[in-house]
Structure 1
Amino acid sequence: MLDTLPTPDALRAEAAIEPDPVHTGPVTKETQIIAIYGKGGSGKSFTLSNLSYMMAQQGKRVLLIGCDPKSDTTSLLFGGKSCPTIIETSARKKLAGEEVRIEDVCFQRDGVFAMELGGPEVGRGCGGRGIIHGFELLEKLGFHEWGFDYVLLDFLGDVVCGGFGLPIARDMCQKVIVVGANDLQSLYVANNVCKAVQYFRKLGGNVGVAGMVINKDDGTGEAQAFARAVGIPVLAAIPANEDLRRKSANYQIVGRPDGPWGPLFAELAENAAKAPPVLPTPLDHDGLLGLFKPEDTGGNVTLVPATQADMRGGSWAPKPSLEVIYDNV
């Protein structure tokens, strides 16, 4: 055994070999990683399924990753079928003493590659920690070596824990797109995402907001006003339309080049690809309320302070304190 060990001279010779030089030529392929945030039920999954499908039809290599614990991002893409999530597959494989393979968790349809990170059951764990664990496993599977033009991440925006802010906090994406509608709650979430981007930019981060997708647009204009106020463009306005609602409910893809909604999603695909990441100027709460009519939001309500008598349901008089105060010695 000792005869097979390398000699000191051989080790020195090996150590003297210079490593390959750092690549300084033009970048031939760069993956755009885009994180899409929005309130639950705002239409993120509908938007992303059709956007990813349109991008693939345009000849792009696209990976769609669902990062919502509901694991419903890919349902529309796969016609209502749910695919095994990375979290549940990892747990099952670990119990069996096996390694997770890419074919266990990634599936494809018409050129779109898709997977779901998943999350814990209600009350049985932290969804944000599940996101972190999922990305750790993706890195082991070679995430940074995959050759895609676009990686689209679907994140739940109305959860504020660190796991869901991972792409922004750790510069895991180049830009963010927010999905919202003409309602206060979805715009509140979009504004919070803009606040997160602003916060991490102050800490040296590089992620910016590329723009907003208005879903179920009924023409009232609040979402348009929000985008103007925070300084981001509107990448697409998807109308409140019965045909879209019915097809989405039936898990039908509408982002097809030859379909009636093809031009809308083709424009969204182009805008999402080309829009630069910008630093937004999020609104304070009063500014957000100011986008709506006071009668719609309660903006004309005056705060009336409560008194101790109110809290006791009757009269109340202050009593001398029983606290003992000692002189300074």
Structure 2
Amino acid sequence: MASQENSQPVRFVETLRREAAQAPDPVHTGAPTKETQIIAIYGKGGIGKSFTLANLSYMMAQQGKKVLLIGCDPKSDTTSLLFGGKACPTIIETSSKKKLAGESVSIGDVCFIRDGVFAMELGGPEVGRGCGGRGIIHGFETLEKLGFHDWGFDYVLLDFLGDVVCGGFGLPIARDMCQKVIVVGSNDLQSLYVANNVCSAVEYFRKLGGNVGVAGMVINKDDGTGEAQAFAANAGIPVLAAIPANEDIRRKSASYEIIGRPGTEWASLFEELATNVAEAPPKRPKPQTQDELLALFSSDVVGRNVVLQPATMADMTGVEHVIKPTLEVIYDAA
């Protein structure tokens, strides 16, 4: 009996290894045919993607749209605000438990509803025990088995970490799994650097025949300094909404409160965002160079007056370095 119990985890590990070794499908080059708008939202960790999406999806549902919100960040925090701080069982964790028990995953195990918004979390591996990007790929494979392509939603919103350098997080762009991308940023260099990386990824796959474009940017915690607005203008994408740096918004978000409710103080902001997200066409962005990004900020902020000083061998070793003649034999040309 003990040997059977020991062999079960071994078989599970072998299955995971086989899945990890599978190469992703080639980039799709056909025209998008889905009536459902599948929109991937990207941004730096902590920039407010989950806050934006929870309120956006809630407002869309109140406007009569059928909306599915899918958290694709290994932190699994996309749906926390929507569900008042409660953790949602993730697809990856549920799938692993079901597989070990010899059972299959059903919709009711991983998808939950609040006030008309359907929501689920892909999840990710435990810290230090796997690749978050590979977990995303596995999660979408499970969604496809559950009939993802046959679901009848008006909008599917995907919340992705902005690290599109990783193949898993770049999945919707690389495989044409969405029609358009929205970036969330603020007036700081790091968030705009991530937004620019997303634009670069979109442009790269467009050159390979892909169809995904950038529909626009949401500026979160906008303090009015204008760097994010300038970036969007330079990249050739519209600003869909500017959410102000406001203490009331911060406090309510921290207490897991939805502020995108019809008839409330911030309703008009998210009503406008919902309209813009629905109507904004996907555009081919113009990624910025590193110098162009730095030029958005004053030199005292980003340190552009710093001069790069080459190191010497004496600097590295702490002693004076004697340059010795080479022993290489150099022949004169015949």
Q: In 2, distance between residues paired with 1:244 and 1:157?
A: 23
> What residue identity is the alignment partner of 2:104?
E
Q: Secondary structure at the match of 2:97?
A: helix
Q: Is 2:160 the partner of 1:155? A: yes
Partner of 2:59: 54
Residue 159 (structure 1) shift? 5.2
Partner of 2:191: 186
Residue 55 (structure 1) shift? 0.2
Partner of 1:304: 309
Partner of 1:243: 248
Q: Secondary structure at the match of 1:304?
A: coil
Q: Secondary structure at the match of 1:278?
A: coil
> What residue identity is the alignment partner of 1:265?
F
Structure 1, unaligned runs of 5 or more = 1-26
Q: Contact conserved, 2:78 with 2:121, CA < 8 A, in 1?
A: yes
Q: In 2, distance between residues paired with 1:97 and 1:324?
A: 69
The Cα offsets for residues 260-305 of structure 1, whole Å up to 9 and x where unpaired, read as 0000000000000000000000101010000000100111111111
Task: Compare 253-262 and 158-167 and name the one that shifted more.
Answer: 158-167
Q: Is 2:131 the partner of 1:126? A: yes
Residue 317 (structure 1) shift? 2.3
> What residue identity is the alignment partner of 1:114?
A
Q: Secondary structure at the match of 1:259?
A: coil
Partner of 1:99: 104
Q: Contact conserved, 1:40 with 1:158, CA < 8 A, in 2?
A: no
Q: In 2, distance between residues paired with 1:206 and 1:249?
A: 37
Q: In 2, distance between residues paired with 1:322 and 1:50?
A: 70
Q: In 2, distance between residues paired with 1:326 and 1:198?
A: 48
Q: In 1, distance between residues paired with 2:104 and 2:157?
A: 25
> What residue identity is the alignment partner of 1:169?
A
What is the root-mean-square deviation of aligned Cα atoms in Å?
1.6
Partner of 1:219: 224
Structure 2, unaligned runs of 5 or more = 1-32
Residue 325 (structure 1) shift? 7.4
Partner of 1:73: 78
Q: Is 2:295 the partner of 1:268? A: no
Partner of 2:16: none
Q: In 2, distance between residues paired with 1:159 and 1:41?
A: 16
Task: Compare 194-203 and 309-318 and name the one that shifted more.
Answer: 309-318
Q: Contact conserved, 2:164 with 2:201, CA < 8 A, in 1?
A: no
Q: Secondary structure at the match of 2:120?
A: strand
Partner of 2:37: 32
Q: In 2, distance between residues paired with 1:258 and 1:85?
A: 33
> What residue identity is the alignment partner of 1:308?
M
Task: Compare 305-314 and 261-270 and name the one that shifted more.
Answer: 305-314
Q: 1:201 aligns with which of 181, 202, 206?
A: 206
Q: In 2, distance between residues paired with 1:60 and 1:326?
A: 78
Residue 158 (structure 1) shift? 2.9
Q: In 2, distance between residues paired with 1:123 and 1:327?
A: 56
> What residue identity is the alignment partner of 2:220?
N
Q: Secondary structure at the match of 1:34?
A: strand
The Cα offsets for residues 17-71 of structure 1, whole Å up to 9 and x where unpaired, read as xxxxxxxxxx9x8100000000000000000000000000000000000000000
> What residue identity is the alignment partner of 2:291?
D
Partner of 2:298: 293
The percentage of aligned residue pairs carrying the same residue is 81
Partner of 1:277: 282
Q: Secondary structure at the match of 1:237?
A: strand
Q: Is 2:238 the partner of 1:233? A: yes
Number of residue pairs the alignment of both structures matches = 301
Q: Give the TM-score, by structure 1 length.
A: 0.89
User: Based on CA coordinates, which of the two structures has the bigger radius of gyration?
Assistant: 1
Q: In 1, distance between residues paired with 2:304 and 2:283?
A: 30
Q: In 2, distance between residues paired with 1:158 and 1:61?
A: 29
Residue 320 (structure 1) shift? 2.3
